[in-house]
Amino acid sequence: MEHRKKGRKLNRTASHRKALLSNLAISLIKHKRIKTTLAKAKELRTYIEPYITKAKISLKLKKSEIGKALHLRRVTASMIKDKEAIQILFDEIAKKVASRNGGYTRILKTGFRYGDGANEAIIEFVDYSIIKEKEKAAKKKDEVKGKGKEKEKAELTEEVKEEEPKKEAKEKKATKPKTKKISSKDKEFKPKSTVKSKNITKQTKSKKGE
């Protein structure tokens, strides 16, 4: 038997293996379900589940024991170096897993990878149904889109209502007959023409009298 040889080397050095498992844990926490090789999935399960337990313990601690909860969070953050992932783990996942005594993840074999023939698997959280969540998200998107379309229709109808009285006013203006305005110059000019015509008539009469 092989003694004192816990875990898989995954054909990597210690530092590379540590970074790999940390990155896989971050991806699993954020996406709740990832696809990888079977060996990596089995190794990831032994790596992440103790930290999930720490998150669950910190959630159950009382307000008087804030120091312990903070310590557990810091221990986890020293290995999983992503603030967003730590926040999701301690605030969201810990609540989902509160009633479960271990076995937070499941591994599903998906067959062999085309090319190198590696044995692939999906690792996911037991308490999350990815399909249902996707359906809920799609429904929310459809509802938001429907509300947006209704708003656009209402805005268009309001614009049409505002434009109709303007068009009617323009049509009324177009139908009215145009009246020529008499300027002040024209008014002054008319009496002069009448005076000239009177002078001409007087001159013609005087010539006839001669």
What is residue 167's predicted lDDT score, i.e. its pLDDT?
66
The pLDDT score that the predictor gives to residue 179 is: 59
Same domain, 63 and 163: no
Under 8 Å CB-to-CB from 59, ≥6 apart: which residues?
90, 94, 95, 98
Indicate whether 115 and 58 sit together in one domain: yes
Quick one: 133 and 152 in the same domain? yes
Segments forming the whole domain that contains residue 92: 14-128
Please write the tens of the pLDDT for every residue from 102-146: 899 999 999 999 999 999 999 999 988 766 666 677 777 777 777
pTM score, two decimals? Answer: 0.62
Check residues 210 and 53 and name the one with the higher pLDDT: 53
146 and 96 together in one domain: no
CB distance 47 to 57 below 8 Å: no
What's the number of domains the chain is made of? 2
Neighbours of 49 (CB within 10 A): 15
Whole-angstrom Cα distance, residue 31 to residue 134?
A: 12
pLDDT at 131: 63
Let me know whether 53 and 150 are in one domain: no
CATH code (residue 102): 3.90.1030.10
Average pLDDT over residues 81-96: 94
Q: Are residues 108 and 136 in the same domain?
A: no
Residue at 96 is within a domain: yes
Which of 1-5, 63-67, 107-111, 201-205 is predicted least confidently?
Answer: 201-205
Per-residue pLDDT reduced to its tens digit, 138-186: 777 777 777 777 777 777 777 777 776 766 666 666 665 555 556 555 5
- On whether the CB atoms of residues 95 and 4 are closer than 8 A, the answer is no
Whether residue 109 sits in one domain with residue 164: no
What's the confidence (pLDDT) of residue 153? 76
